Each structure stands twice: as structure tokens, then as C-alpha cells.
Chain A
Amino acid sequence: MRNVRSTEEIALGIRRRVFEHSIRNNGGYLSQACSAAEQLAWLYNEELNLGAPTLPMIPRPFAGVPASGNDAYRTGAGYNGPAEPAFDRLFIAPAHYALVAYATLIEVGRMAPEGLEMFNKDGSSVEMIGAEHSPGMEVHNGTLGIGLSTAAGLAWGRKRRGEPGRTWVFMSDGEVQEGQTWEAIAAAAHHRIDNLYAIMDVNRQQCDGAMSSVMDVGDVKAKIEQFGGVAVRVDAHKLDQIREAAKTPHRGRPLIILANSSPFRGMPSLQLRFPGLHYVRFRSEEERASMNREIARSLRVDPVAYEGAH
């Protein structure tokens, strides 16, 4: 099911889906689609070795939380295929990217478009902040900074057992403010966990605004290297650079690709909303209509026909 479409087409498809969804719902994680579309498209369409989905294309409703006696409970990992030794695993560490991740699942044929209609609807498993039971998710990551540690534990355990499959983490740069990130890199280096891979969406944005204004984190690449990881900087929108970076030798160390991204990529009119990019909720019907026209033009689609549009 891989490579039926080009990764560029899938990235464009992700942006279009997130755009359409956000216009219809009067807001959404638009900027994350701009910055991360190529990264997620590349992971799913090229890099990850995943089996066929084991869960229905149209997501089942919420079936309760993990609890003794809740045998119906499933994580959403089945959308990435079965957890077999040869296959890779993926954690979406900033679960706030869920909308973009769901759009990716649709674009690569792992979830039906109807899945996105269930986004953030009561009783749905397609939650706004990706939960364990949400499509494509395997662990809770909504609390930022815990994803790399969990992946390091999983990767160490798989390596001990001789499993060839890799463990990948899609990260954000904002979460490196959490000290746990650095604990995780030190632990992974100390224990030579080199089947651990991450790609970090370095968009320099966080909830309050630009990271430089909230709490600057300095030279993330140098820090990762000091803590024992291998880091490579790439342009997040140039797939050839990402592809090359993934081949970087990193024996005995985790590899973290720092994907320098634009939070407006593909939707330049979002610049008007800087620095409030974390969750774009339109401030007026005029702004919504104007964004609809402008972004549709940028993405080369027709404006979204939503209720109340004029």
C-alpha cells in the first residue's frame, strides 16, 4: 500500500484535509499541518515499515478506558499495523498534532475519510488530543515530553529480544523545554539504544507563541549531541534532505532529525495570525471567509462550502 502516490502529493493532501476541516469547524491545528505535513507523509509513505491496518477503516466509537474487565479495549496502534517484531512502531509525541496525524492516515489509506468527521465528537475515539485509543496512537502523549522516554524503553526492550523493527517518535521542538527530553536522550545514549529514531518538527512555535519569546531553548542540536544523541538538521519541506538524514550513521546512539519547518508552509496567509498559531480559531466570520478564500487559493482547491458561508 506504500508509494501508490508520491510523498509530495500526500503532504499536499494532508494540508488540504486539515484546512477543510478547520474551516468547517471554525478552527483547528492548521499550522501544525503546514510545518509537519512532509514529515508525517514521509514517515508513513516511505520510511516506516508497517503492516496492513488491523482495525476497521471507519474508527469504532470510544470503548472505555483500560480497566480490569474491559476486554473490548484496544489502542489505536492497529491503524499502523500489527506490533510484530519486524515492523516499525511510531509514537506521535505531541498528541496535539492528532488532526494532522489523522489526515495522514487517510491520505495513506489507513483510515477512511469518515474518521475525520468524528474528530472531537462526543463518544468518538478520534479525539482532539490523540489518546491511546485514537487512530494511529499507541500510548498517551498529550502530556508533552514523555514520548521519547516511552519509545526508548520500548526500543531497548525490542533490541534485547533481537527484534529488527525500529521505534520512531514524531516530536515537537516545544517539548524540549520539558527536562524529561534530556533525561531520555541521556538514558538512550547510555544504554546504546540505536534502534530509537525521532524526527522533530522544529517550527519554533508553542502554545503561548514563538518559543524565543516564551522560553528560548538555545541550540537544540548541540544539546542533543552533548547529551549523547546524534542530531541532523534538515529543511522540513525538502524530502531529499530528510531521506538523507535518516541514513546518518548513529551506532550506539539515538538519531534525532531536526526538521526546520515553516509554520505557514503552504498557507502563507496564516502569517496574519502570528504568534497565535498553536490553535487557530477564527475571530470573526470575516476572517474565516477570508482565510477560506486565501488558503484555498494557496492549496489550489475551491473554497470550502460551509454552513453560513457567504
Chain B
Amino acid sequence: MVELVSRPYARAFEAYATQYPNEVLCLSADLTSSCEIDGFRDRHPEQFLSLGMAEQNMMSFAGGLGLAGYRPFVHTFGVFMYRRPYDQLMASIAYPRRKVRLMGFLPGVTTPGGMTHQSIEDVSVMRSIPNMTILECGDATEVESICEAADSIDGPVWCRVLRGSVPRLFDTPIRVGEIRVLSEGADVLVVTSGICTEEAMRARAAFAKAGLSIRHLHLHTIKPFDASALLDHIHSVTHGVVTLENHVTEGGIGSLAAEVMADAGVGKRLMRLGLRDTYAHGGSRPYLMRYYGLDALALVKGMESLLGEEFDITEDDLDAARVDDVHSLVKAEAL
């Protein structure tokens, strides 16, 4: 049974930020408890800035704080941090390489809030911004280490952060730029990020039972990216590559793998799984992951398609999916 950690960001941010009372600042745009920084606000008001529902100002303001020598951690839902204030993100933060840490909560379908709340193309956008670094949490240990990892970067950092009840899958912190190798099989390479890594792990035993040897990589650092390390793994498998991400299949880690393979002239197949040129809608996370093909079963089907054979793996063969109680106390109260 996977260990579930309650609100890891709340503790991790406070523990990290309080080490730098004169450099690290906590910014929020009216989603303070929703981003698990309400306790920090109450206990460390001198390091906290409430900037209201005014993200355009917040982004340029954060750029000004960066110019003044601070390292602001900006907290809101990811979607609100790049869609409306994209111009400010570019001109005030990314271009001048301000040390602004953009903590984007509710990545992809981790919110029932529907289109307006779901950041489904943020990785694509951030990958195309010069000077930007991109980190994504896949478990509680990565949530716990993302503040230090982000703050080690000399420039702006986009972070996909998980909140509430988060499974612990790894026992080592994020080391920026490294790829986590979760299994070292020889048939197919599976590359996942974020919450999709847990899904791929659910399918691990079933693939083994079906006689399929999987090499599984988890990406917490999406940009900058070490193409040569990925290529070594691609060369280590016989058949091809499957990517699975909580994001549209354009511009995310599927595209990243495609670019790496095309640039190197790798003649292997690639199956990109994720949101396929579609918006999502409002619903629970397990429902959305099933409906849009982001879960373990979708990976099985993708694998079958890649290899042109059926493994007779059903839902029952997969490790149990976690079902969060939507009314659980560990969930922040607001969308």
C-alpha cells in the first residue's frame, strides 16, 4: 500500500522559506489556503505578500522584487499564472531571468474545476520560453524537495506542484537535471511525469506477468533536458517508446521525446499518450484520467498499440487506483 502524505507542500515550503527570511518571499493571489500557504501566512506575515486576484500586476511585481534581490515564490493555480499574465511572465520575469519561483498548483486534470482551472498546455508554453526551467512533482518526496530544487536555479522556474494527499513513491529528493530510472527492462521504454508516473507503476506487475520487460523513466526536470541520457535509454530497448503525461500530447514530454528521437535519427516507434488535442472538463481525477486516457489502463492500451499485440491485461490486473475522498480534510477547501 502506498504511503499517503498529507499536505506535504505546506510543511516543506515553511521549512525552506524560513531559512531565508530576508531573501525568500511568499506571494499569493487569493488562493492562499488552496495553495497550502495559509499557515505560513499566519506564522510568517513579514515574508508574505497578498496581491489579490490581479495576476498581471503580481507577475510584474514579482519581477520587481527579483530586481530588488529577492527570490519570490509565486503561488496560485498554474493556469492563472500563465494564461492571462503571459505578457508579464515574459517581459518581467523570463526575459530578465529573475529568480522567481512559479509554483503552479493543480496541474492538468488534478482539479475538477474544468477548462478554466486545468493547466493542460503549460509545459508546452514554458518549454518554448527562453531562460525558463521546468520542474514537475510526481510524489510527496518531490513536493517536499521542490522548493530547494527550484531555488537552486539561477533564473525563473515553472513548477507543477501537487497538493492535498500525495503518495510517496520515491525516497530521494529532486536532483535537478537527473532522470529517475524506475525499472531497467529491455523491451519498451516508458517515460512519464507528474501523476502519470504512479499510473505507470500500477501497471508494472501486469506487464511483468505478461512477459514484457519495461524500462521506466520518471522526469521531474523537463527543461533543461539531457537528451543524451534519454537516448541511451532509448537505445537500450528493442521496440520503442511510450510517453504518458498529464498534459496535451503537443509540446509536453511526448513532444520532447519525439524531438530527441528525430534529432538523433532514432528509427524507433513512439506512442504519445496524454490529452489528445482536447480540453478536459470538470470531474474527479480518476474519472478524468480514465475518460481522457491518462491512467494505467490507457498505458496498457498504448503499449498494445505500439507492439501490435494484446496482453489480456484488465483493470483487475492493475494495482488498485487510489481513490481520494473528495470531502477529505486534507484537501484544501477551495477550488
Contacts and interface: CB of A to CB of B under 8 A. Distances in A.
Given A146-B91, A180-B57, A151 B64 contact: yes
B57 A183 contact: yes
Give the interface size class of chain B: 20 to 34
Contact of A149 (B52, B60, B131): B60
A152 B65 CA distance: 9
A146 B98 CA distance: 15
Contacts of A161: 22, 68-69
Contacts, number: 111
A258 to B, nearest CB: 20
Contacts of A150: 60-61, 63-64, 67, 92
A161 B25 CA distance: 13
A166 interface: no
Interface in B35-90: 49-52, 54, 56-70, 87-88
A154 B67 contact: yes
Given A67-B130, A157-B69, A161-B68, A139 B57 contact: no
Given A66-B131, A152-B61, A186-B54, A146 B88 contact: yes
Contact of B52 (A67, A68, A141, A190): A190
Contacts of B62: 153
Nearest to A75: B96
Contacts of B66: 153
Given A67-B130, A149-B56, A139 B87 contact: no
Contact of A157 (B56, B58, B65, B130): B65
Interface in A132-153: 132, 138-143, 145-147, 149-153
A162 B54 CA distance: 27
B154 interface: yes
B209 to A, nearest CB: 46
A140 B87 CA distance: 11
A146 B92 CA distance: 8
B95 interface: yes
Contacts of B131: 66-68
Nearest to A154: B64
Q: Which of B50, B56, B65, B67 is the most central at the interface, judged by chain A CB atoms within 10 Å of its CB?
A: B67
Give the interface size class of chain A: 20 to 34
Interface string A155-188: 1111001000000000000000001100110110
A220 B51 CA distance: 22
A183 B64 contact: no
B97 interface: yes
A161 B91 CA distance: 25
A142 B87 CA distance: 11
B323 to A, nearest CB: 40
A75 B155 CA distance: 16
A138 B96 CA distance: 10
Contacts of A191: 49
Given A132-B96, A149-B88, A186-B52, A158 B63 contact: no
A66 B96 contact: yes
A143 B50 CA distance: 25
B96 A139 contact: yes
9 contacts: A68-B97, A139-B92, A140-B91, A154-B64, A156-B61, A156-B64, A157-B67, A157-B68, A179-B56
Interface of A: 65-68, 75, 132, 138-143, 145-147, 149-158, 161, 179-180, 183-184, 186-187, 190-191
Given A157-B70, A180-B60, A187-B51, 12 more contacts: A66-B96, A68-B155, A132-B95, A146-B88, A149-B61, A150-B60, A157-B64, A157-B65, A157-B68, A161-B22, A187-B61, A190-B50
Interface of B: 22, 49-52, 54, 56-70, 87-88, 91-92, 95-97, 130-131, 154-155
